[in-house]
Amino acid sequence: MNYAPEISLKQEDIFKAFVELFRAACAKPAPLGICDYPSSRAVYAIDLMLKWESSGNGKQHMQPQVLEVNFNPDCERACKYHPTFFNDVFCTLFLDEPNNCHVTSVV
């Protein structure tokens, strides 16, 4: 996913930002945070932008910046570009069968 060999942006950096976001959201009990509820299933949409940053040696890299998290996302675009989107979501969240689905575990 790098734009040029000298530009450092890895998908892992974006996934790491997602993990940090949800760990922070779960750090406090409800109603301040997301509580542990084993039978809960949810789909979130995360809007992010990429910010240019310079490291200590002056080398530039992109850093993901989370803008917004939606717990009731509009899935029209996901369905348009990924026709199996809802099937993958259902199989992953409710049937616990993510193996043949287009999903990535970030934890």
Please, which pLDDT band fits residue 93 given cuts at 50, 70 and 90? very high
Please, which pLDDT band fits residue 98 given cuts at 50, 70 and 90? very high
DSSP string, 12-71: HHHHHHHHHHHHHHTSS-TTTSPPP-TT-----EEEEEEEEEE-TTS-EEEEEEEEEEES
Residue 107 above 90 pLDDT?
no
Domain ranges of the chain: 1-73, 74-106
Residue 1 above 60 pLDDT?
no
pLDDT per position as a tens digit, 57-85: 888 778 889 999 998 888 999 999 999 99
